[in-house]
Structure 1
Amino acid sequence: MKILDKYLLKKYFTSFIFTLLILIPIAMAIDVSEKVGKFLKAEDLTVSEIINDYYIHFVINYGNTFMPLALFISVIMFTSKLSGNSEIIAIHSSGISFRRFLRPYLIGATLITIISLYSNHFIVPNSNKALEKFEETYLRSIYKKKTKSSVSKVSLQLSESDYIYLGYFNFKSKNGYNFSYEHFEGNKLVYKIISQNIRWNEKDSTYRLSTYRKRFVGAYKDSLDSGSFMDTTFNFEPKDLLYVDYLAREMPSITLSNHIKKSENRGVENLNNYKVELYKRTSLPISSFVLTLIAVTLASKKRRGGIGVNLAAGISLMFLYVFFMKVSEVLGSTAESIPLLMVWIPNIIFGFIATYLYVKAKQ
């Protein structure tokens, strides 16, 4: 690695870390000011628990969220300073092309993208889960609890040939009503089980059906079996009946991907919220390349007004990117949209902007 690469990479990472260390304490200060009253009301909550169980995970979560913003601002600031000191002119005068000048920036963006990808897919979901647990325990009032205690009118496709329906199920008592199970062979119904009551036995992962009827559909005549109780197994657990959007943020990507596939096989209609969350974990880190390229091309040219002009233009573009990102996430969550396309639209649009600015700067 040449001296120029080491010099620019050092500037790249020191500026990035410095900017990130400014943004995170600001976010923490705002959060503390909003929640200090709730912290004081929680009698059993200690300062150590607030730091270890909440703010460590808060820093991980918001640090990863602020990575693209911190990267963009830091690149604009230190590149504008290089341009203002005529260092970029000296670099080009020595025969180094703009393309070669970009290499250390892209190396830095690659390293940050790798870190962000790993964090988004594996570390941040666990932090989200810890934050959710802390807020559920200490910060929410009894009227704002997110935990769902029951569901009603739920239908699931367990496999290509098995379907269930539940009129009501309570997760606390693990008891449900108006249960039916249908087994098909092709388009033909083979048998159907109807039960007034169903209870989940967590110890041996079985269900007890009360006052049940099992109807076998024959070619010429049906047969009926009934009884007071029947213990059996089905290919689902009570948690599979629960469909809550915030759970997606708490699942590692492998678990989330498997959950989406499993839910699709079971006939859950709209999983776009889950898909948006999964695709966003990759698209946001990749934006490091796009934002780095935009920042370098904006700041590498010496302008009147120095860093201020470049920073104003850069922050304006950054706010536009965040706006497009949030709008695309909302639109991607609707049932009629294509989540993968909607999540990547901001990177596609700003990728074209970055390419245009690069070609213009190269000339």
Structure 2
Amino acid sequence: MLFRYLKSVFFTLFILIPIAVVIDVSEKVDKFLRHDDLTFFHILKDYYLNFILYYANTFLPLATFIACIMFTSKLASNTEVIAISSANISFTRFLRPYFIGASILAVVALGMNHFVVPKGNEIKYAFEQEYIFSKTENRSYVKNFNLQLNDSAKIFIKNFSLLNNRGYNFSYAEFDGIKVKYRIVADNMLWDKENGNFVLSNYSERFIYPDRDSIAHGDKRVMTLDFTPDDLMISGSKSMEMTSDKLSEFITKSERRGVKNLNAYHVELYQRTSLPISAYILTLIAVSLSSRKKRGGTGVNLALGIGMMFMYVFFMKVAVVLGSAPNSNALFMAWLPNIIFSIIAIYLYYREKQQG
């Protein structure tokens, strides 16, 4: 029974994934053909392999839910559930193979969510930046950026281009309490990726001592700072490209630097655990809904299940939006869909248990 359940899940997944691939190919084929140097193998390896990993992981709860309903409805229509009940096997015992299967799927999804999919997203996004997105679609420019590097140092950049790693109107200041003790400004800055530092052009620096100030000017100055151009992109979409250990490190580092509203990153991190755990909740709902033979057969159960699944997706999207807002509780919002549907699952479970 466990093998048949898992086979139904992956069969459903293999039906959904090609649909997503075909839709994506139809939307992007003209963009692929614009690049003479872009080979089929390159598209398959760097884009569609990671595309499939992302959507397989995204569709896994949906596939689990639909497969569970169809598999259990088939058992019910063949009166196998009645036979199991007649053998004095409780509904709780009947659920055991489902929960073993849900545990396997949850473990796989946890590994995918926390490590595999983010690495794939990073490769896929690099491909999209180079071959699919136009310059206006790229996350290419940052304006009026402030960053606190540590307790006593801050930077300000008027404009920074991520296309050529060049910034304009740069300012760096060090403080002793609330008093400025050192400040340097530059018209231009260029990130030297090879050496891991910034090259400042047309700069002016000022040392402030208790009894005097010292001012110096120059054409070029190499400066090492505790940030890179990647740190300039404070956006929730970036979180999808970081494994969970790097994401946690990034959140901690950004909080220390005084970056405001990191809730989008928190929600992404928490959902990487909450979504796999939903396999248990959705499995319990699906079995409870479809373990009884109904007039109308599998179609009625499937319609109820799909409606329930759309409600779950709706609550999940609302939770992401609300959880990313300033001053919201990101942990609670990330788990809110699971909390709501856990209540529904428990109600359906006890109802079915009493009827059994």
TM-score by length of 2: 0.91
Q: Is the 8 A contact 1:182 1:189 kept in 2?
A: no
In the TM superposition, what is the alpha-carbon distance from 1:70 to its structure 2 partner? Answer: 0.6
Report % sequence identity: 49
Q: Is the 8 A contact 1:177 1:195 kept in 2?
A: no
- Please tell me the root mean square deviation across aligned C-alpha atoms, in Å: 2.1
After superposition, the Cα gap between the structure-2 partners of 1:167 and 1:105, relative to the gap in structure 1 and judged at 3 Å, is: same
Once residues 171 and 29 of structure 1 are traced to their aligned partners in structure 2, the CA distance between those partners, rounded to angstroms, is 32
Match of 2:205 among 205, 208, 213: 213
Quote how far apart the aligned CAs of 1:203 are. 4.1
Q: Judging changes above 3 Å, is the alpha-carbon distance between structure 1 residues 75 and 179 closer, same or farther for their aligned structure 2 residues?
A: same
Task: State the partner residue of 1:226.
Answer: 216
Match of 2:185 in 1: 195
The partner residue of 2:128 within 121, 135, 143 is 135
Structure 1 distance, partners of 2:51, 2:292, is: 37
2:172 is matched with which residue? 181
- Aligned: 1:313 with 2:304: yes
| 1:331 counterpart = 2:322 | yes
1:337 is displaced (CA, Å) by: 1.8
The answer to whether the Cα contact below 8 Å between 1:106 and 1:292 also exists between their aligned partners in 2 is yes
For 1:141-185, what per-residue CA distance to the aligned partner results, in whole angstroms no more than 9, with x for missing partners?
A: x3444141x433211111122222223334455444433333334
- Structure 1 residues 21 and 232, CA gap change in structure 2 (3 angstroms): closer
Looking at structure 2, the residues matched to 188 and 64 of structure 1 have their Cα atoms a distance apart, in angstroms, of: 49
Structure 1 window deviating more from structure 2 (344-353 vs 223-232): it is 223-232
Whole-angstrom distance in 1 between the partners of 2:184 and 2:37: 48
Identify which range, 317-326 or 170-179, moves more after superposition: 170-179
Q: In structure 1, what is the Cα distance between the partners aligned to 2:34 and 2:175?
A: 56
Q: Report Cα offsets for 1:251-290 as digits up to 9, x if no partner.
A: 1111111111111111111222222222221111111010
| Equivalent in 38, 55, 72 of residue 48 of structure 2 | 55
SS at match of 1:158: strand
**Alignment CA distance shift 1:170-1:58 (3 Å):** closer
- Aligned residue pairs, count: 351
Structure 1 segments unaligned to the other structure (5+ residues): 1-7
Contact 1:290 1:347 in 2 (8 A): yes
Q: Secondary structure at the match of 1:195?
A: strand
Q: Is the CA contact 1:175–1:200 (under 8 Å) kept in the aligned structure 2? A: yes
**Equivalent in the alignment of 1:25:** 18
Change (3 A) 1:199 1:333: same
Q: What are the equivalent positions in structure 2 for 1:139-288 lying under 5 Å apart?
A: 139-140=132-133, 142-148=134-140, 150-171=141-162, 174-185=165-176, 187-189=177-179, 191-197=181-187, 198-209=189-200, 210-218=202-210, 221-228=211-218, 230-288=221-279
Unaligned ranges ≥5, structure 2: none
Does the C-alpha gap of structure 1 residues 206 and 19 become closer, same or farther in structure 2, counting only changes over 3 Å?
closer
1:120 is matched with which residue?
113
Task: Report the alpha carbon displacement of residue 73 of structure 1 after superposing the two structures with TM.
Answer: 0.5
Could you tell which deviates more after superposition, 346-355 or 225-234? 225-234
Cα distance, 1:301–1:160 mapped onto 2, change above 3 Å: same
CA contact (8 A) 1:212 1:230 kept: no
Whether the aligned pair in 2 keeps the contact of 1:294 and 1:358 (CA below 8 Å) is yes
Of 170-179 and 12-21, the range deviating more from structure 2: 170-179
Cα distance in 1 between the residues matched to 2:73 and 2:105 = 21
Quick one: structure 1 residues 338 and 203, their matched pair in 2 at CA, closer, same or farther if it must change by over 3 Å? same
Residue 118 of structure 1, CA deviation: 0.3
- Cα displacement string for residues 168-206 of structure 1 (whole angstroms, at most 9, x for unaligned residues): 334455444433333334x34251213233444444334
Matched, 1:299 2:290: yes
Name whichever of 93-102 and 111-120 sits farther off. 93-102
1:211 counterpart SS class? strand
User: The residue matched to 1:215 in structure 2 has which SS?
Assistant: strand
- Going from structure 1 to structure 2, the CA distance change for 1:96 and 1:206 (only over 3 Å counts) comes to same
- Would the alpha carbon gap of residues 36 and 204 (structure 1) be closer, same or farther in structure 2, given more than 3 Å must change? closer
